[in-house]
Structure 1
Amino acid sequence: MNTYVVTLFIFGVVVLLTTWLPLALRRMPLSLPICCVAIGIGLALSPFTPLPYMNPLQDATVTEHLSEFVVIVALMGAGLKIDRPLGWRRWMTTWRLLGIAMPLSIAAIAVLGWGLLGLGVASSLLLGAALAPTDPVLAADVQVGPPKTGEEDDIRFALTSEAGLNDGLSFPFVMAAIALAGQGSVSGWIGHWLALDVVWKLATGVLVGWIAGKLLGYLTFKVPETGRIAKTGDGLAALGFTCGSFGATELVHGYGFVAVFVTALTLRSVERESDFHGQLHDFGEQIERLGTMVLLVCFGSILAEGTLLSNIDWRIAAVAFLVIAVVRPLTGWIGLLGCNRPASEKLIVCVFGIRGIGSIYYLAYASGAASFEGISTVWATVFLIILVSIVVHGISVTPVMRWIDKRRGIDSMHPAAATINAHKT
């Protein structure tokens, strides 16, 4: 049997399924990520497939770069589809989730890693940092709609903007875990960490992202009309914007995740009403879906192989339950205390903090940068939490969002009606 031909056939079938499934699953309590994981498990167990069994610990570099690419494409898409202009009061829910809920989540998960899993301080901090960010890739069902559709209520806005920023803001904590793993104590690296990994890299990410967004916005919308990128109508430019912004930032040692999202927000602000934003978003979404499909099929293959998950015991299961059912809802609720929104909406924001591709990236990056005690336990815990999050949130998101939309007089199954009602509010 020709392995190459079989691989092409399987790839084609899976791509077609991921193209069609979102339409088929629209009214069902299932999500595309669940189906992709199931496909990966089925392919790995089939005797007719060339899909290899994979372990991310054995090739962390491939895992790191593939997950990194999917995340930055998702961040560009998330930034482009946010209609709400950046502002302190307009984004107050986001700032609360980032400034209060995320640090509390990191601390709580790190304590669970240290107390229940018996991990060292560095490994516990890595576990907390990797699991703190919500995912811009797998959370599509609870994010705002495409640009200018009006599908941007406070719930979807909060979860989209949080996912867009907390991936980059978690990086300093990952770097702290790497430094701690190498030094063994806080003394000797804390000053360097604060100056470089917190101040410089965050500031550089924001600044380069803003400059890139302004420059690309000028080339896209403001140069003489015949030379505008927008005149091409080609969404492929979104990939150039994403990789250019990310690469430029990383070259000057900034956080590329932060820069990509800031670039998208800035680009959108240069000419907010252009239809070209929709074309950029649509192309980026297709690339993101393709990359997500590949990653989740591989994720399913890893689950089917079983080596990584063989480390799971009651302690890891308990941590997974606590992270999903207690830590995120509780820290999110604390972060939103005093926020003038209905309790039902705040609860949905707190519960649907989906974990996913970003956590895999951070673990792969850290695994290649330093040696961590009990790293296989960390990987097994993160993989179990991602699996549970994909299944639990994937099954519940459709009925929950339909319920809350119905309470607000919005038919989420009809985008036109959603747009009209969103503009009314």
Structure 2
Amino acid sequence: MAVALGTSFSFASTPALVALLVGAIVFVAIGALTHEHERPFSSAMIYLVVGLAAAGVIDVLALPWFDLLQDPHMLQRFAELTLVFALFATGLRIARITPTRSWTVLLLLGVVMTATVAAVAAFAGLVMGLSLSAAIILGGILAPTDPVLAGGLGALPPLEAEDEQRDAPVCLSMESGVNDGIAAPFILLGVFLAHRDGAGWLSQWVLADVLYGIGIAVVIGAIGGYGIAALTSWLRERGLVARELDGWVAIGAAFVIFGAAQAAGSYGFIAAFVGGVAFRRFERGRYTRRVHDAADVARNFAELGTILLFASMVNFSGLAQPGVTGWLLVPVLLFVIRPLAVLLALTGVRLPLRDRLFLAWFGVKGVASLYYVGVIIVMGILSPAETATVTWTAVAVVAASIVIHGATASWLRTKLLTPS
């Protein structure tokens, strides 16, 4: 008997079909990543379509599969993994932090994000009828600009025309690198409101979840990123680490920094991004480029898995959960809240109008929102009805953002950022 038809594989066996399907999907991803910068689509759009097609097959054939509300752990872990790699890679892209960029990002994080949480919460409470805690949680879930899906729109990789980059892409990368972690305190505020006991919860939230959580994450990320860069460079110079394994440094560094921050009770996402920035501060040459490229490859694979899994879990009954008012939040957030908040907050900033329009439009929602959806489902702090509404409203916004921002990315990037 031929080896291919032996005990490991049988003709049309499940493992064989899975291997065939996975290989085909990887080739689809290669094509999508190759052409996304010159076509009116993004790789995430292709993954979404493939995943939705799979969801249709699963529904028609009544195949056993993950349920978003009952089995959120897999999606949460995939999203977490994707974010860790994406944030570290994004940090490695930050070459120069000018006063204009710093001030712009501070406004995006301090003013725009807070305003977005408040506006979404107000809409969710007044129009959708959610409780205050659920409304704030939904605002926190949908506020962050996603570093995974915004990766192709942001700062260029190391050594690629760094001095010629416009401010807007770098600011977008810096914003998306930090705001995923900053979203956590807003979500925890909603959790506290759902289960507030006594009068000390507000001070606990400010001291522990805001000041300590963010501050310690920055410290761990800075020390970890700079220290790992210094140590690995020292080892390479002495031949104690093979240069061919530079890419492995990205995987190890991202996990070590993220894990250390999480173990300290702070925000691993902030630490991962700051770690990438600090790594870049020590080593600015080809070593950093190879480390970045490895992190980017890991991010691409993880993004593929996350979007496919997310889309395959979508079903018609779930999409009906937000109702008309929940679906109305999609255009309100993407077309009104984010653009208006950015344009108002950046009034007076020394940034060209085109750059401000770029930042206003590309408040992409994606993997970070999916991660926090998983967190809220696992925590079980909302009623089943509100959990379903929050979850599927976030799903609707993420799916719409992938399509809308993916379809306009290539054209608007060229239109707004290419010199006249």
- TM-score clears 0.5: yes
- Indicate the residue corresponding to 2:48 in structure 1: 37
| Residue 394 (structure 2) pairs with residue 382 (structure 1) | yes
| Residue 149 (structure 2) pairs with residue 125 (structure 1) | no
- Match of 1:117, SS state, is coil
- Indicate the residue corresponding to 1:419 in structure 2: none
What is the CA–CA distance in structure 2 between the aligned matches of 1:301 and 1:154, rounded to whole Å? 37
> Aligned AA for 1:81?
R
| Residue 296 (structure 2) pairs with residue 297 (structure 1) | no
- The 1:401–1:133 alpha-carbon spacing in structure 2 relative to 1, beyond 3 Å, is same
- Indicate the residue corresponding to 2:374 in structure 1: 364
1:225 deviates by 1.3
| Residue 317 (structure 2) pairs with residue 287 (structure 1) | no
Contact kept? 1:143, 1:160, Cα under 8 Å: yes
What is the CA–CA distance in structure 2 between the aligned matches of 1:89 and 1:221, rounded to whole Å? 32
Contact kept? 2:75, 2:310, Cα under 8 Å: no
> Aligned AA for 2:344?
I
- Match of 1:26, SS state, is coil
Q: Which of the residues 119, 126, 142 maps onto 1:115?
A: 126
- Indicate the residue corresponding to 1:82 in structure 2: 94
- Match of 1:56, SS state, is coil
Kindly report which structure 2 residues correspond to 1:317-396, keeping only aligned pairs within 5 A, or say none: 317-373=327-383, 374-396=386-408
- The 1:133–1:383 alpha-carbon spacing in structure 2 relative to 1, beyond 3 Å, is same
1:231 deviates by 3.4
What is the CA–CA distance in structure 1 between the aligned matches of 2:36 and 2:210, rounded to whole Å? 42
- Indicate the residue corresponding to 1:182 in structure 2: 195
Kindly report which structure 2 residues correspond to 1:63-74, keeping only aligned pairs within 5 A, or say none: 63-74=75-86
What is the CA–CA distance in structure 2 between the aligned matches of 1:334 and 1:228, rounded to whole Å? 53
Contact kept? 2:339, 2:361, Cα under 8 Å: yes
What is the CA–CA distance in structure 2 between the aligned matches of 1:186 and 1:284, rounded to whole Å? 45
Contact kept? 1:74, 1:285, Cα under 8 Å: yes
Unaligned runs of 5+ in 2: 1-11
- Indicate the residue corresponding to 1:226 in structure 2: 238
- The 1:219–1:227 alpha-carbon spacing in structure 2 relative to 1, beyond 3 Å, is farther
- Indicate the residue corresponding to 1:209 in structure 2: 221
What is the CA–CA distance in structure 2 between the aligned matches of 1:51 and 1:343, rounded to whole Å? 51
**Further displaced range: 250-259 or 43-52:** 43-52
> Aligned AA for 1:377?
T
**Further displaced range: 99-108 or 293-302:** 293-302
User: What percent of counterpart residues are identical?
Assistant: 28
What is the CA–CA distance in structure 1 between the aligned matches of 2:298 and 2:183, rounded to whole Å? 24
| Residue 256 (structure 2) pairs with residue 244 (structure 1) | yes
| Residue 192 (structure 2) pairs with residue 161 (structure 1) | no
> Aligned AA for 2:327?
A
What is the CA–CA distance in structure 2 between the aligned matches of 1:224 and 1:31, rounded to whole Å? 37
Contact kept? 2:354, 2:417, Cα under 8 Å: no
- The 1:343–1:405 alpha-carbon spacing in structure 2 relative to 1, beyond 3 Å, is closer
- The 1:46–1:157 alpha-carbon spacing in structure 2 relative to 1, beyond 3 Å, is same
What is the CA–CA distance in structure 1 between the aligned matches of 2:72 and 2:57, rounded to whole Å? 25
TM-score, normalising length: structure 1: 0.90
Kindly report which structure 2 residues correspond to 1:4-15, keeping only aligned pairs within 5 A, or say none: 4-15=15-26
- The 1:166–1:149 alpha-carbon spacing in structure 2 relative to 1, beyond 3 Å, is same
What is the CA–CA distance in structure 2 between the aligned matches of 1:186 and 1:314, rounded to whole Å? 37
- The 1:227–1:49 alpha-carbon spacing in structure 2 relative to 1, beyond 3 Å, is farther
What is the CA–CA distance in structure 2 between the aligned matches of 1:119 and 1:35, rounded to whole Å? 33
> Aligned AA for 1:28?
R
| Residue 38 (structure 2) pairs with residue 23 (structure 1) | no
- The 1:41–1:261 alpha-carbon spacing in structure 2 relative to 1, beyond 3 Å, is same
Contact kept? 2:104, 2:171, Cα under 8 Å: yes
What is the CA–CA distance in structure 2 between the aligned matches of 1:99 and 1:228, rounded to whole Å? 44
- Indicate the residue corresponding to 1:310 in structure 2: 320
| Residue 142 (structure 2) pairs with residue 143 (structure 1) | no
1:25 deviates by 3.5
Contact kept? 1:55, 1:302, Cα under 8 Å: yes
TM-score, normalising length: structure 2: 0.91
What is the CA–CA distance in structure 1 between the aligned matches of 2:343 and 2:292, rounded to whole Å? 31
What is the CA–CA distance in structure 2 between the aligned matches of 1:202 and 1:60, rounded to whole Å? 26
Structure 1, residues 288-341: CA drift from partner, whole Å, max 9, x if none? 1111111111222122x3232121321012111101111100111122111112
- The 1:52–1:93 alpha-carbon spacing in structure 2 relative to 1, beyond 3 Å, is farther
CA RMSD, Structure 1 to Structure 2 (Å): 2.0
Unaligned runs of 5+ in 1: 410-425
1:176 deviates by 1.2
Q: Which of the residues 395, 402, 411 maps onto 1:399?
A: 411
Structure 1, residues 240-288: CA drift from partner, whole Å, max 9, x if none? 000000111111111101111111111110122x101111111111111
What is the CA–CA distance in structure 1 between the aligned matches of 2:184 and 2:110, rounded to whole Å? 14
1:232 deviates by 4.1
What is the CA–CA distance in structure 2 between the aligned matches of 1:258 and 1:359, rounded to whole Å? 15
- Match of 2:247, SS state, is coil
What is the CA–CA distance in structure 2 between the aligned matches of 1:25 and 1:243, rounded to whole Å? 29
**Further displaced range: 57-66 or 390-399:** 57-66
> Aligned AA for 1:181?
A
> Aligned AA for 2:56?
L
